[in-house]
Amino acid sequence: MSPILILLALIVGLIALLPTWRLGAAGWPRQWLASYWVVLAAAMFVILRLPGISRYLVPIVVLAYVAPFVAVPERLTRLLGGTPPVVVRRPSPPELTDGRDGGGSDDGPDAGSSGRSRR
């Protein structure tokens, strides 16, 4: 095997690692990541070696490469039938008003006091 082919395969493999890493950060299983990387790297290598078939493979490879960066990986997981991760949100802060109509009127017995009785 020529050194140029080895270098080409190494470069293609490293380039294919970028979207694979992004999907791995989203929690994809290792088997899916390995399959994705092998298919993407092989398709990129075929495009470089056989320019005649690149007319059909380039749009597929571009879509497969860009999709993890454009679409949220969790959304891709939902499309493939997996379960999306659970998102936990903090509760919203309480409202500043005390719930009475009018906001600041002194109609109630404890309006304006801070828990102390008036004398």
Q: Which two three-digit tokens encode residue 48?
A: 């470089």
Q: How far is the C-alpha of 78 from the C-alpha of 94, rounded, in Å?
A: 34
Instruction: Give the Cβ contact number of residue 68 at 10 Å.
Output: 21
Write out pLDDT tens, residues 83-113.
Answer: 655 666 777 777 665 555 555 555 555 555 5
Q: How far is the C-alpha of 39 from the C-alpha of 104, rounded, in Å?
A: 67
The answer to whether 12 and 48 are in contact (CB under 8 A) is yes
Q: Which two three-digit tokens encode residue 104?
A: 């600041």
Write out pLDDT tens, residues 17-41.
Answer: 888 988 888 788 899 899 999 999 9
How much is the mean pLDDT over the chain? 76
Instruction: Give the Cβ contact number of residue 82 at 10 Å.
Output: 15
Q: What is the pLDDT of residue 80?
A: 63
Percent of all residues in the chain with a pLDDT value above 70, rounded to a whole number: 63
Q: What is the pLDDT of residue 56?
A: 87
Residue recorded with tokens 């290792």:
30
